[in-house]
Amino acid sequence: MDWSRQTDEARHWFETLRDRICAAFEAIEREAGSDAAFDYIAWNRDTDDGSHGGGGVRGVMKGRVFEKVGVNVSTVSGVFAPQFAASVNGASAEAPEFTATGISLVAHMANPHVPAVHMNTRFLTTQSAWFGGGADLNPPIAYAEDTEAFHARLRAACAAHNPTYYERFKKWADEYFFLPHRNVHRGVGGIFYDHLECDDEAAFQRHFAFTRDVGEAFLDAFPAIVRKRMGQEWTAEEKAQQLEWRGRYVEFNLVYDRGTLFGLKTGGNIDAILMSLPPEVTWS
């Protein structure tokens, strides 16, 4: 099946979601008395044979509330290296072709009382086609009510599509966003899903609707938490706790994160791939 129309449909949604998220984050900066705005840098992915393999736009803002936030949208295509193809759903050394479109966001906050956050959703095609993604909250200083609010909004998004989704995808997030070498979770979780297979147009539209609702849930939940916490005062000890906690975030993204590996293995833009890394971090 030719999935080019569906890829374009998904790409358009991801770009629209990017614009709305960036506008919401810039509005928060204005409320804090900052004129910070996103800088957007377009990049192209050139394949080894010189053909055009798509590209994307990397958006980064450094402000008073958002110490560093990156929002990337990309649409790329090409062939996987044979040894990597075997690890990707629907691909193989004999059929290494792929297309991928998605949005990826990571925000590191100036105030240690405001949680860092990660969100991404994507549509990939190989010999199969599927949606994946999720969102997870990563507070250096956790507040139970923030965790519950974030999960409640994701729970509602899941419940509108399948009564089993939330528990399944929450468990997946808890297992995935975990650092075995430290025996700790990266944060307080969220949802993570992958391989929502699209066998036909009906399945595409069903899983696309769910993926859109994950984006809407994030846009509804996270700015509300930021506004609730961004005015709190913090101590030097709390800031130090945040910087050390960020080290765990770095370790996960560089050692275990699938998205980082996918970007590096498919010739993605290095700055876009590593935009998830915080601007300042310490290790004890």
Query: Could you give the residue numbers annotated as active site?
Result: 118
Contact 266, 74 (CB under 8 A): no
Q: 130 near 198, Cβ under 8 Å?
A: yes
**Residue 200, burial from CB neighbour count under 10 angstroms (0-12, 13-18, 19+):** exposed
Q: 259: part of which helix (H) or strand (E)?
A: helix 258-265
Cα separation, 87 vs 124, whole angstroms: 14
Measure the CA angle with vertex 7, ends 128 and 135; round to 5°. 85
Q: 3-class DSSP state for residue 202?
A: helix
Question: What are the distances in angstroms from CA 51 to CA 18, 77, 181, 218, 270?
Answer: 27, 10, 41, 36, 19
**How many whole angstroms from its chain centre is CA 39?**
18
Cβ–Cβ under 8 Å, residues 252 and 177? yes
